[in-house]
A = this chain, B = another copy of it.
Amino acid sequence: MVTKKKQYHHGNLSRALVTKAIELLEQEGISALSLRRVAKETGVSQAAPYSHFKDKQALLTAVANEGYARFGQRMQHEAESGKEQDYLVGLGRGYVFFALENPGLFHLMFGGELSKLIDVNAIHEEYGSSYQLLVDAIDKTPLKRFSDSENKPLDVAFAWSLVHGIANLLQAERFTTETYGYQDVEPFVDDLLRRYLGNTA
């Protein structure tokens, strides 16, 4: 029953490296994520990754892309779960929860380790499609609260910023929910999102 232990060479090394990198990233944080460790713990020599990725950036880009895919799924899942009637608020919940559940990945995806040198196009597919979820939601039902002068693009920027700020500040422990009189994150996030982003509240 113990197969695929020592014979990569099938084209799965590339995927195995990405998987191991995510594992390391979430368990020990981004500073522990060295190419050499990823290689070693995948059971392969330090130079082997270079057969599949141009350099460390390229591996990180692949990891981030996997992250964007999961991110979009998480948002959509939350929005459609029925826990929240307002679809846009549901997406916001998914956004924030993803950040809290996958701090390493989230940090890599948005923290700028990549964005300095990255080939932006290399990331755009998955990233763009998660972004598109927000755009679509706002296209369907613009924010009534600010409907005095309709401006959907600005509404998108607003929603994106609000939710991104909440996710970042919570994850970096810049807010602590106790400061605001909440014991748990979830109701805190819900109140914030419903009150300032939702149409129903």
Identity of the chain B residue whose Cβ is nearest the Cβ of A174 in the assembled complex: B110
Q: Does A146 contact B (CB under 8 A)?
A: yes
Scan residues 68-119 of chain A and give those whose CB is less than 8 A from a CB of chain B. 107, 110-113, 115-116
Closest chain-B Cβ to A9's Cβ sits at a distance in Å of 33
| Interface of chain A: mostly helix, strand, loop or mixed | helix
Q: How far is A154 from B180 in the complex, measured between Cα atoms in Å? A: 7
Set B31, B111, B113, B180: member contacting A157, Cβ < 8 A: B180
A158:B192 contact, CB within 8 angstroms: yes
Number of interface residues of A (CB under 8 A): 39
| Supplied contacts A107-B111, A162-B162, 6 more A-B pairs, CB within 8 Å | A112-B172, A153-B181, A158-B192, A161-B162, A162-B165, A165-B166
Query: Can you list 17 pairs linking A and B with CB atoms under 8 Å apart?
Result: A29-B116, A31-B113, A112-B171, A120-B173, A146-B195, A151-B195, A154-B192, A157-B166, A157-B180, A157-B192, A158-B162, A158-B192, A160-B169, A161-B169, A161-B192, A162-B162, A165-B166
Q: Which residues of A contact B (CB under 8 A)?
A: 29, 31, 107, 110-113, 115-116, 120, 145-146, 151, 153-154, 157-158, 160-166, 168-169, 171-175, 179-181, 188, 191-192, 195-196
